[in-house]
Amino acid sequence: MKRYLLTAFACMTLLLVIVMPAQSKEHAPDSKTRCVVCGMFVAKYPMWLASLSYETGERLYFDGVKDMMAFFFSPEEFGTSKDKKISQVEVKDYYKQKWIDGKTAFYVIGSDVLGPMGHELIPFASKPAAENFLKDHHGSEIISFSTITHERISSMRMGHMMK
């Protein structure tokens, strides 16, 4: 009986390893990883995570899209050269909590949902999901990555300059 249970446990473990998608280490910041912009520990806010990757493979994490965009527009303000080439922008879909391409996401602004640093850009993989959220949470607008401006981000960050 004991042998049967051990065999069953081993098979179940193997099945879980094969079937469950592995979360890569690059998407699992450790408990000491801080947001480059505000200094908050990002692992405390997994649903708000955003990240930028460089061509070198280096990945930076942020406690929300707003701080990621502040860095995106002014990396030199946070001690990074503007010459480094960003290869990937990733955010978490608010409802699905899956990583999505930040450059193709739809962002709701002005909603009654606050992130770790107050008002936030809430990302979605699809426009219908963003429209539902906008309606349910009294958002003011849906915007795309290409329409996000440095001025808008600076305005949203007023009063939240930690670090």
107 neighbors 123 (Cβ within 8 angstroms): yes
Q: Higher-confidence residue: 3 or 58? A: 58
- Which candidate, 147, 142, 115, places its Cα nearest to that of 131? 142
Q: What is the pLDDT of residue 25?
A: 42
- Indicate the domain borders of the chain: 31-157
Q: What is the pLDDT of residue 94?
A: 98
Q: Where are the beta strands (DSSP E) in 37-157?
A: 50-54, 59-62, 86-92, 99-101, 106-109, 114-115, 118-119, 122-124, 141-144
Q: Higher-confidence residue: 24 or 111? A: 111
Q: What is the pLDDT of residue 128?
A: 98
Q: What is the pLDDT of residue 3?
A: 55
Torsion of CA 128, 134, 135, 140, to 10 degrees: -140
- Please tell me whether residue 86 adopts helix, strand or coil conformation: strand
- Please tell me whether residue 38 adopts helix, strand or coil conformation: coil
Q: What is the pLDDT of residue 82?
A: 87
39-92, pLDDT tens digit by residue? 999 999 999 999 999 999 999 999 999 999 999 999 999 999 888 999 999 999
| Run of H or E including 40 | none
Please give the Cα distance from 66 to 145 (Å, whole number).
12
Q: Higher-confidence residue: 145 or 18? A: 145
Rounded to an integer, the average pLDDT of 24-28 is 56
Q: Which residues contact 91 (CB under 8 A, 6 or more apart)?
A: 49, 50, 51, 65, 68, 99, 100, 102, 105, 123
CA dihedral sign, ordered 34, 129, 156, 87: positive
